Amino acid sequence: MLLKGAQLLRCGLLSRPQSHNFRLLCRSLSVHYGDAKTLTPAVRKYLEQCVDLCQPDKIHICDGTVGESKMLQCLMLKQGTIVPLPKYHNCWLARTNPADVARVESRTFICTERKEQAIPVTEKATPSALGNWISEGDLKKAIDERFPGCMKGRTMYVIPFSMGPVGSPLSKVGIEVTDSPYVVESMKVMTRAGTQVLDHLQAGDGQFVKCLHSVGTPPSGVHAQPSWPCDPERTIVLHKPSDNEIVSYGSGYGGNSLLGKKCFALRIGSTIAKREGWLAEHMVILGITNPKGKKIYLTAAFPSACGKTNLAMMKPSLPGYKVECVGDDIAWMKFDSQGVLRAINPEFGFFGVAPGTSKATNPVAMDTIFRNTIFTNVASTSDGGVYWEGMGDANVKDVTVTDWLGKLWSKESGRNAAHANSRFCTPASQCPIIDPAWEDPAGVPISGMIFGGRRPAGVPLVFEARDWTHGVFIGAAMRSEATAAAEHKGKVIMHDPFAMRPFFGYNFGDYLSHWLSMEKRGKVPKIFHVNWFRKSEDGQFLWPGFGENSRVLDWIFRRVEGEKCYEESAIGRLPSKDSLNLAGLDEKIDLEQLFSLPKDFWAQEAREIEKYFKEQVGQHLPREVADQLEVLKARVADM
């Protein structure tokens, strides 16, 4: 039965209003809460399985209240997992075990009956660059080797959460079981979590995605850093799309432990989306209003750490323009009954990369993140604040800096103060430019999609796909300088189709076919490609970026409106002469270089794409996409 060996007390006993002081709340820490009566039979059954397997000491069914948060913050303070940041309101800093700082792509698996359901099977692609497959037998073995008894001595938290506004036809529910209070508190920021989701499950179809997470315990039984238990040697993240199930072991780092995000909203989400005929994508959603007061919504897919969050929160430099943010990482998009593609942000918070965020690069984020935020692996300052590379001047008088490893730091230390993948986890509702419709259960109508990457050479500032199929090819051919968000480091240009490379839940070839099929389902948006990062021969950026990117959005807006401000080129539609609005720009822009299409570069690019398709996608590549490559090759040959 559910409560075997576990103690389950009544719901809400500890839910206290915010004004209660810490000591009062700490006194009741040994008490846990939850009400089994609020669980549907299917949830109960799932929890029984988790309890049997993980053998926790206690169960805590999360209600999502402030009182619960106070209690868990208190617990984490006691355990040394977080420290307060008194310079700000309700902000905390977690320092992870240094071996647990990023997503573990090489140990992230999709389990399907046949390998080709999960990843393209080709002669050359071993291992595949488009995900890892695991058999059912090996999945069971991986679980059996890690999970039995893994929560002994710990509390098992049950987090009911909704991806998307509770009850929206575009939303989905998950139940995350975890032994980490850090995960609970982060999930409460990143998703709509708590009792209202259980009520919705009771009232609705009862469907949910099963998400089991444990920080684990190394075989020695000893945690290198007791304040951040984990088992980095045996970390594994498993997905079983046929059962809507996720199992994650060994890591507390967000990308591996906040299972609503990459695991559910993208990997399992993309498989559900394929089955149900919609799209789950690694995209920001933003609203843009032009000086005439007309508003459209765009989505944009960029590989990790390419300034996606900055784009989602842009302060346009072009007079009269306004950008509002619906989401900074993930878009779920579905055609409505009128054939309009509508998007929701399934998340409730931002889990953004801190380094590089400043008043200059992202003033909106800076106005968002200094309340109710959990920072992870940033540096701290002796006046109770945080610091990271690119934030501004660290040498404030009389203030010392402690780095993410807990050591005293100065600019002369010769090392980074914050980890390159350090994060803020902050409520989206605090964003001063959050879109008024960001919680609209119907979603917002999407008029354009932008793909992009960090391309120092050859790729112009902006171009438009000739049609949907060409746009799908552009997404499939995306490449970018590698990200610090994963294990890959350094400046290699990597293929990252649709910015989904680490997040596909099923065979990329089938994913492409699914994208192609969207055209038959409704009115598809225009597709664009942008590159803010092109450099001159002497290594200088050719485009100022940030707020000036609104000039590119202005051109995109006008194209969406049907203005004939383009000319055809070998790779797609480029802004026609003088159509990019550069009025008032202080800097002199070398448009010639910014939009030049070097024939050698594009011939090489086409060869790289061909090699990638051949080696990684093989026979799974849809004919339409292969044809687009031939068109590109022929057009480049004619350049």
Catalytically active residues, by annotation: 306
**Beta carbon nearer to Mn ion, 34 or 303:** 303
Of the candidate residues 485, 524, 542, 552, the single one contacting ligand OXD (CB under 6 A): 485
The region of 114-122, 325-333, 432-440, 475-483 touching Mn ion under the rule CB under 5 A is 325-333
Kindly state the tokens that stand for 386.
């945080």
What are the C-alpha distances in Å from 290 to residues 66, 294, 529? 39, 5, 21
566, 465 Cβ separation under 8 angstroms: no
Does 329 participate in binding ligand OXD (rule CB under 6 A)? yes
**Beta carbon nearer to ligand OXD, 485 or 524:** 485
11 binds, among ligand OXD, Mn ion, none (CB under 5 to 8 A by kind): none
- Cross-strand partners of 301: 451
486, 105 Cβ separation under 8 angstroms: yes
**Beta carbon nearer to Mn ion, 306 or 625:** 306
The least CB distance from residue 106 to ligand OXD, in Å, is: 15
Across 468-478, b (16+ Cβ under 10 Å) vs e yields bbbbbbbbbbb
- Closest listed residue to residue 311, CA positions, set 263, 352, 265, 346: 352
Does 475 participate in binding ligand OXD (rule CB under 6 A)? no
The least CB distance from residue 191 to ligand OXD, in Å, is: 14
The region of 3-11, 79-87, 265-273, 322-330 touching Mn ion under the rule CB under 5 A is 322-330
119, 131 Cβ separation under 8 angstroms: yes
d(CA 323, CA 544): 18
Kindly state the tokens that stand for 635.
């057009």
Does 255 participate in binding ligand OXD (rule CB under 6 A)? yes
Of the candidate residues 100, 185, 281, 329, the single one contacting Mn ion (CB under 5 A): 329
The least CB distance from residue 271 to ligand OXD, in Å, is: 19
CA 74 from centroid of its chain's CA atoms: 28
The least CB distance from residue 503 to ligand OXD, in Å, is: 8
Which helix or strand (DSSP H or E) is residue 630 part of? helix 623-637
Give the burial class of 309: count Cβ atoms within 10 A of its Cβ; 0-12 exposed, 13-18 middle, 19 or more buried.
Answer: buried
**Beta carbon nearer to ligand OXD, 255 or 349:** 255
Does 304 participate in binding ligand OXD (rule CB under 6 A)? yes
d(CA 463, CA 575): 7
Binding footprint of ligand OXD, residue count (CB under 6 A): 6
Helix (H, G, I), strand (E, B) or coil at 233: helix
Cis peptide before 232 (omega within 30 of 0): no
Q: Following DSSP, what letter does each residue of 111-142 receive, concatenated?
A: E-SSHHHHS---SS-SS-TT--EE-HHHHHHH
The least CB distance from residue 157 to Mn ion, in Å, is: 24
Residue closest to Mn ion, measured at CB: 329
Does 100 participate in binding ligand OXD (rule CB under 6 A)? no
Query: How many beta carbons lie within 10 A of that of residue 177, not counting itself?
Result: 26
The least CB distance from residue 176 to Mn ion, in Å, is: 19
197 binds, among Mn ion, ligand OXD, none (CB under 5 to 8 A by kind): none
Terminal alpha carbon distance of the chain: 71
Residue type, position 580, single letter = L
**Beta carbon nearer to ligand OXD, 68 or 329:** 329
The least CB distance from residue 327 to Mn ion, in Å, is: 11
Does 181 participate in binding ligand OXD (rule CB under 6 A)? no
Does 347 participate in binding ligand OXD (rule CB under 6 A)? no
**Beta carbon nearer to Mn ion, 329 or 347:** 329
| Residues near Mn ion (CB under 5 A) | 329
| Residues near ligand OXD (CB under 6 A) | 103, 255, 304, 329, 351, 485
